[in-house]
Amino acid sequence: MFELIDEWGPEKVVVVSDSRTGMRGVLVIDNAARGVGKGGTRMSPSLTVAEVARLARVMTWKWAGVDLFYGGAKAGIRFDPSSPHKEAALRAFVRRLSNEVPREYVLGLDMGLTERDAAIVQDELGDRGAAVGTPAELGGVPYDELGVTGFGVAEAASAASAVAGVPLAGARVSVQGFGAVGWAAAKRFAELGATVVAVSTVDGVLHDPSGLDVTRLLELRAVHGDAVVREYGGPLLRPGEELLLDAEVLVPAAVQDVISEEVAGRVKARLVVEGANLPTTPGAQRVLAERGITVVPDFVANAGGVVAAAFAMDARYSAFRPDPGEIFAAISAKLRTNTELVLAEAARRERTTHEAARELAQDRVRAAMALRGRLSTRS
């Protein structure tokens, strides 16, 4: 595990387990120089410690990128989110981390967890503190139900469209994943005048070159959940094919590492907007840049979730729930400005967009570390 550590972190890695439920979990606090550790908790049957450490590092850059004062952290639970024992596993996870939660880490939503789970976390914490992403009935900001992250992904795409030479009106968009990020991205792209030609889940890829009916997809998802692509009807392409379709815009919004160097060489889109965390490998980022394909990096494009989470953190101390309109407006403003800055800096510094965005975020984290006396004294 020591090989995970570099000059930025992680500062703390806590591994927990529970013999009764079989839950295994990990909390990674990557870098808390700018504030308390904050990031979503992922539940997946194949989760690894290294995966959570990589996600926690993304959070360090994400909070610094939007200049909000939280530290990079992420947690993960190795457990099947469809199991009837999910609640017991989640409660065991929170109980095992009672030293760290919420003093050093505040839970939020990531893959496999929903607002209902955040409510369970809140119940487990009692008067020790709050979870974030709880339902409106608990005074929370239900950011996955609101679709804030996907909304922000499409806003970032809109800001990048001029640089990429891809006007969004009429652009064909292919979206991988139709969960909290994917559905909301598809909805916002359609509102911005783009044509959503493909969406996918693990079941396969729905593809219609003349455009899918996004309203119908959203209605089907509300009723059938994950089974949405099968319920829509029509043939399905194999998972992965959505990355290579004829489309101007590609939005990977499911899992990490789906765009390898090899896949990057075959992507047809002119603009890739990363809804998921870590969907492109470093090699793929280089290939895409060499091919002149504009990439909006994950921690720039999907930062709508952290902006909403920051509102939710503030709401913990207020009797007034933030207005969703205010949250969406803040996301649009922050992500558009940041996207334009990152693309301009990448061009100016002759770096990939990931490199430029990381350098900008690192400057802020380094400044906080210096002020706290945390920089290395070794030469």
Ligand X SMILES: O=C(O)CCC(=O)C(=O)O
Ligand Y SMILES: NC(=O)C1=CN([C@@H]2O[C@H](COP(=O)(O)OP(=O)(O)OC[C@H]3O[C@@H](n4cnc5c(N)ncnc54)[C@H](OP(=O)(O)O)[C@@H]3O)[C@@H](O)[C@H]2O)C=CC1
Query: Which residues participate in the annotated binding site for substrate?
Result: 38, 62
Which of ligand Y, ligand X, none does residue 38 bind to, with CB < 5 to 8 Å depending on kind? ligand X
Q: Of the two residues 4 and 36, which places its CB atom closer to ligand X in the complex?
A: 36
Per-residue tokens: 239: 């998972």
Per-residue tokens: 121: 């976390």
Which of ligand X, ligand Y, none does residue 253 bind to, with CB < 5 to 8 Å depending on kind? ligand Y
**Cβ neighbours of residue 31 under 8 Å, at least 6 residues apart?**
8, 9, 10, 11, 57, 60, 71, 72, 365, 369
Candidate ranges 103-111, 158-166, 177-185, 345-353; the one touching ligand X (CB under 6 A): 103-111
Q: Does 110 help bind ligand Y (rule: CB under 6 A)?
A: yes
Q: Of the two residues 90 and 306, which places its CB atom closer to ligand X in the complex?
A: 306
Q: In angstroms, how far is CA 88 from the centroid of its own chain? A: 25
Rounded Cα–Cα distance for residues 358 and 141 (Å): 28
Asked if 375 and 369 touch (Cβ cutoff 8 Å), the reply is yes
Q: In angstroms, how far is CA 355 from the centroid of its own chain? A: 18
Q: Which one of 109, 259, 313, 357 is in contact with ligand Y (CB under 6 A)?
A: 109
Q: What residue type is assigned to position 268 of the chain? A: K
Q: Which residue(s) pair with 249 in the sheet?
A: 173, 271
Q: Which one of 4, 218, 237, 255 is in contact with ligand Y (CB under 6 A)?
A: 255
Q: Which one of 26, 154, 166, 180 is in contact with ligand Y (CB under 6 A)?
A: 180
Q: Which one of 27, 132, 146, 296 is in contact with ligand X (CB under 6 A)?
A: 132
Q: Does 60 help bind ligand Y (rule: CB under 6 A)?
A: no
- Sketch the per residue contact string, 49 through 88, with ligand X: x for CB under 6 A, - otherwise: -------------x--------------------------
Rounded Cα–Cα distance for residues 253 and 271 (Å): 14
Asked if residue 209 has a cis previous peptide bond (ω within 30° of 0), the answer is: no
Q: Which one of 39, 76, 112, 297 is in contact with ligand Y (CB under 6 A)?
A: 112
- Sketch the per residue contact string, 274 through 313, with ligand Y: x for CB under 6 A, - otherwise: -xxx------------------------x--x--------
Active-site position among 74, 86, 187, 334: 74
Q: State the minimum distance, in angstroms, from the CB of residue 163 to ligand X.
A: 23
- Is 240 strand, coil or helix? coil
Element (H, E) at 290: helix 282-290
- Is 245 strand, coil or helix? coil
Q: What residue type is assigned to position 92 of the chain? A: A
Active site residue 74: yes
Number of shown-chain residues binding ligand X (CB under 6 A): 14
- Sketch the per residue contact string, 132 through 171, with ligand Y: x for CB under 6 A, - otherwise: -----------xx----x----------------------
Q: Which residue has the tokens 């909390």?
A: 27
Write out the binding residues for ligand Y, residues 17-56 only, by CB under 6 A. none
Write out the binding residues for ligand X, residues 264-303 only, by CB under 6 A. 277, 302
Rounded Cα–Cα distance for residues 339 and 332 (Å): 10
Which of ligand X, ligand Y, none does residue 309 bind to, with CB < 5 to 8 Å depending on kind? ligand X
Angle at 85 between CA 79 and CA 90, to 5 degrees: 60
Write out the binding residues for ligand X, residues 301-320 only, by CB under 6 A. 302, 305-306, 309
Q: State the minimum distance, in angstroms, from the CB of residue 201 to ligand Y.
A: 3
Strands annotated E in the chain: 12-17, 24-31, 37-44, 71-78, 105-109, 172-176, 195-201, 204-207, 236-237, 249-252, 271-273, 294-296
Write out the binding residues for ligand Y, residues 321-350 only, by CB under 6 A. none
Q: State the minimum distance, in angstroms, from the CB of residue 143 to ligand Y.
A: 6
Rounded Cα–Cα distance for residues 264 and 261 (Å): 5
Distances (CA, A) of 259 to 63, 169, 253: 24, 26, 12
Q: State the minimum distance, in angstroms, from the CB of residue 255 to ligand Y.
A: 5
Asked if 30 and 72 touch (Cβ cutoff 8 Å), the reply is yes
- Binding site for NAD(+), residues? 149
Sign of the dihedral through C-alpha 185, 302, 306, 255: positive
Asked if 274 and 295 touch (Cβ cutoff 8 Å), the reply is yes
Task: Report the interface residues with ligand X, using CB under 6 A.
Answer: 38-40, 62, 108-110, 132-133, 277, 302, 305-306, 309
Q: Which residues are catalytic?
A: 74
Task: Report the interface residues with ligand Y, using CB under 6 A.
Answer: 109-112, 143-144, 149, 176-182, 200-203, 226, 239, 253-255, 275-277, 302, 305
